[in-house]
Amino acid sequence: MAVVDSRTATRPAPVPRAKAGPGKLPGLAMAAAGVALAWGTHRLVPAVPMLTAAVVLGIAAAHLPGVRTRVRGVGKPGLTLAGKRLMRVGIVLLGLKLSLDDVLGLGWATVAMVFAVVAATFFGTLWLGRRLGLRGDQPLLIATGYSICGASAIGAVSEVSGSDEKDVATSVALVTLCGTLAIAVLPLLHHPLGLGDAAFGRWVGASVHDVGQVVATAQTAGPAALGEAVLVKLMRVALLAPLVAAVAMAVRQRRAAAGAPAEGKRPALVPLFVLGFLAMVALRTTGRLPGGALDAAAQAQELLLAAALFGLGSAVHLPSLVRTGGRVAALGLCSWVVVAGVSYGGVLLTT
């Protein structure tokens, strides 16, 4: 009879140690490659903004045979990190493009016009999206993107609303598509609508979504139009902070009304990256930053947002988008008409 050692009889069998995953580095490397390709695309075709190219390349990477498996597998953690964390840093640096002196220089009539455009577009899109029965936070995110600053605003609001990644990706894809179309469509309406160069620039700044798309559209009418467009657009960007704070407050109230558990994550009333954005606006207003520092920050901001948008684009699943495509496209078209129409009326009243 075999003798069993009591010291080893009760010892559990060793459990194989799980192999550590590759972590976030593969996805971050993919995002860096996407940024390089987006930069190259913009250099070859200057009419295509770098941020727009980044989103399109991210969507393409998620669907190309041989690439999509790695994007949705080993690259997913790093691409998700890029879409969230790098987006926050890019939004903070975006504040360095805005000075309070520039906003006040627009005049109170223009400031009131911008407020009216943002409010009409946001609440009109939100209401229509609910009526169309779009899923989850899609109406909120699309309304934010159209009314404020495109994909950057969607990323900021999704951080405090806890939106599903698929809703974020679909909203980014729609807003990017419409903003890209604006680059080709709006210059054709410049003279038929009877707008001078400066007025055209204000209309572009008040109605086009992303900052890069605004620049690409307004530059077709010359430097006067470009200057007006950027100032009006940055005024819309300034409204990102109060909008995010309002969404955060609404989320907190909704969770409290639903009896959410105390251990659940409670969104900050004013998220840290929004405070950083406001701090950068205040810093720019002091006028103490040298031009070289502002240029470097602008380049870093564009690279960070490009990486983030590549990450968001890689989360787009076109078959799912097609299934809700009719309603999403209808909301995008209606919202585009609202923002273009209200801003056009506002420009006529304030010029």
Render pLDDT for 180-205 as a digit per residue (tens, 0 to 9): 788 778 989 999 999 999 899 999 99
User: How far, in Å, CA of 161 to CA of 164, rounded?
Assistant: 9
What percent of the chain is predicted at pLDDT more than 90?
25
Residue from 165, 145, 149, 38 nearest 91 by CA: 149
Residue 234 has pLDDT above 60, yes or no: yes
pLDDT at 1 over 50: no
Q: What is the mean pLDDT of residues 56-76?
A: 87
Please report the pLDDT score of residue 2 as a whole number. 45
Distance CA(54)–CA(306), nearest Å, equals 6
Is the per-residue pLDDT at 25 higher than 80?
A: yes
Cα three-residue angle 345-350-351, rounded to 5 degrees: 100
Look at the block and give the residue holding tokens 């600053």: 149
Cα-Cα-Cα-Cα dihedral sign, residues 287, 288, 290, 296: negative
Rounded distance, CA 50 to CA 56, Å? 10
Task: Tell me how far apart the alpha carbons of residues 142 and 321 are, in angstroms, rounded to a whole number.
Answer: 14
DSSP 8-state secondary structure symbol assigned to residue 9: H
Give Cα separations from 207 to 51, 74, 272, 284 (angstroms).
Answer: 18, 39, 28, 25
Amino acid at 37: L
CB distance 193 to 344 below 8 Å: yes
What is the model's pTM? 0.70
Q: Mean pLDDT over residues 272-282, rounded?
A: 82
Binned at pLDDT 50, 70 and 90, residue 22 comes out as low
CB 310 within 8 A of CB 87: no
